[in-house]
Amino acid sequence: MTIAAVFSTDQWSWWRNVLFRFFCIYLVLYTTLWTWVGDFPGLNLISEYYGLAENWLVTLSNTHIFHVKDVLVPLNGSGDTSYGYAQLCFFLLASIIGTAIWTLVDRRKNYDLAYYWLLVLVRYYVAMTALGYGIIKLFGLQMIFPSLSALATPLGDLLPMRFSWYFIGYSTPYQFFSGAVEVVAGLLLLFRRTSTLGAFVAASVFLNVMMMNLCYDIPVKLFSIHLFLFSNFLLIGDAKRLLNFFIFNKPTQPAVRFTLPKKWMRRTQLGLKIAFVYFFLVTPLLRSYHGAFGPDGESASTKLATGFFAVDQFKGSAADSLRWQNVVFETGNSGSIETADTLFRQRYRRGYFSYSLDSLNRRIAFKKFANDTAALFTMQYTMPDTNHILLQGKIRNDSVQVSLKRQNRRFQLAERQFHWLSETNR
C-alpha cells in the first residue's frame, strides 16, 4: 500500500491542527534528532554546534524572560538543574511562538503524513532510551550493590535517592528483571506490527520510573515524566481502536499500514533501521558486557587492602571531629573514612577518597578523585600482617600517625539472604 492510498484529504479540525503544530515543534526540539549522530566522526560537529546554539538561546531567554536562577547550573548527574528548567521553559516558549507563526502561514487541511513521521521519531527515541537504560541494568551496571562504605553508613543518614539506588542494586535478579522489561519495550517499538504493544510496555515501565523519581527525589524527574508522556503519545493514534477493544467491547479494524512507494526509499529505511540497531542495541550490549566481565585493569600490587579497619590509634593535633574513626578500603583503589574532614569528598558523614600506591617506596597518595594528578597528602605505610596497617605522614602540616586494625565486620545485608520458608517477619 502506498502513501497516497493511506493518507486521506479529510480536513482536520482547527484545534487538532494547532495541537499538532505545537507538539511537533516541542517534540523535535526535545528529542533533538540531529544530536543522535554525536558519536559519529565528522558528524559530531552538528551536535556540538547545536549544543552551543541552544545553550546561548536558553541562557539569553532565562536572563531576559524566565529568571529561573541568576546563574544557571548546567545539566550534570542531575537532569533537574536550573538549566534543565530554563531549557524546558525555552522549549515551551519556542513551541508557542512557532505554532503561532506556522498557523498564520500554513493553510494545510491535515498533517496525516507529518503525524506519521512524528510518531516514528518519538517511537525510536523512546526505544533508544529504553534500550540504553535497560541494557546497563541487564549487567547490573546502573545500580551497584552497596559498597563496604555504604554498608558502614547508618541508614538514617542516607538520602532518599541513595536509599532507592541501593534498594535496586542490592538484588541482581530484580535489576536484571527491570532492565529486561525495558529492553523488551525497546525491541517491540522497533517494529510497526508490535509498536502498540511496545508503547503499552514502555508506558508501564516509565510510569514506575517516574513515580520512583518523584517519590524518592531522584533528580531525573523532568526526563522520566517526558518519557512517560511520550509513550502515551504513541498510543493516541490508536486511542479509538483501543477504547473499542478494551472498554466498549466493540469490534475494531486493524491499523492501517503502508510501505514506501520507491524501492530506494525502502532500502534506505532498512539501512537506517540496521544502523539504529547496531549503534543503540549491539554496541551498548558489547560495551556493557565488557564493563561487567572485562578486566578491571588493576593488579594486586596497586591495591593496599580490602575491608573494614578500625582506628586503633590516631596521633596528631587535629580536632576530635577531624580524627579518623574507621577506614574502609574498597575492592578498587578507593575507600572512605568516618571523619568530618572536608579535605575528603564528604557524603553521609564519611570522607571518600581514591588512592595510588607506590609499593616500592611503601607510600600511599590520597586523592579526592581518581583522575586527580595532585594528591591531597602522602603517607608512608607498613603492613606487619594482613590485619594491620600503620600510616605515617603529614595532613595539613600536622604530623599524623594512624594505626588500623582489620575488623571482621558482619553486614547481614551483604549476605543477600533469601528464604522460601520464613517462620517470622524478620
One domain, residues 90 and 203: yes
Number of domains in the chain: 2
Residue 34 is part of which domain span? Answer: 3-293
One domain, residues 116 and 188: yes
Q: What is the gyration radius of the CA atoms in the chain, in angstroms?
A: 28
One domain, residues 144 and 233: yes
pLDDT band at 39 (very low <50, low <70, confident <90, very high): low
* Predicted pLDDT at 300: 60
Q: Is residue 426 part of a domain?
A: no
Q: Are 402 and 324 in contact (CB under 8 A)?
A: yes
One domain, residues 287 and 351: no
One domain, residues 88 and 160: yes
User: For 302-319, what is each residue's pLDDT tens digit?
Assistant: 789 999 999 999 998 877
One domain, residues 289 and 312: no
One domain, residues 223 and 349: no
Residue 305 to residue 383: CA distance in whole angstroms: 10
One domain, residues 350 and 251: no
One domain, residues 305 and 285: no
**DSSP track, 91-143:** HHHHHHHHHHHHHHH---S--HHHHHHHHHHHHHHHHHHHHHHHHHHHTT-SS
The residue among 262, 293, 324 that closes a domain is: 293
pLDDT-wise least confident of 186-195, 238-247, 325-334: 238-247
* Predicted pLDDT at 94: 97
One domain, residues 235 and 381: no
Nearest to 281 by CA among 193, 198, 201, 184: 184
* Predicted pLDDT at 207: 98
One domain, residues 250 and 346: no
Structure-block grid coordinates of residue 106: 500554513
User: For 67-90, what is each residue's pLDDT tens digit?
Assistant: 999 999 999 988 999 999 999 999
User: For 157-211, what is each residue's pLDDT tens digit?
Assistant: 999 999 999 999 999 999 999 999 999 999 999 999 999 999 999 999 999 999 9
User: For 270-306, what is each residue's pLDDT tens digit?
Assistant: 898 998 999 899 999 999 999 988 876 565 667 899 9
Q: How many CB atoms lie within 10 A of CB 14?
A: 9
Q: Are 244 and 250 in contact (CB under 8 A)?
A: yes
Q: How many CB atoms lie within 10 A of CB 138?
A: 21
What CATH code is carried by the domain that includes residue 344? 2.40.128
User: For 358-387, what is each residue's pLDDT tens digit?
Assistant: 989 999 999 999 999 999 999 999 999 999
Higher-confidence position of 126 and 317: 126
Mean pLDDT of 381-404: 94
One domain, residues 77 and 188: yes
SS3 at position 191: coil
SS3 at position 403: strand
- For residue 4, is pLDDT > 70? no
Q: Is residue 102 part of a domain?
A: yes
Q: Share the mean pLDDT of the chain.
A: 91
pTM, rounded to two decimals: 0.90
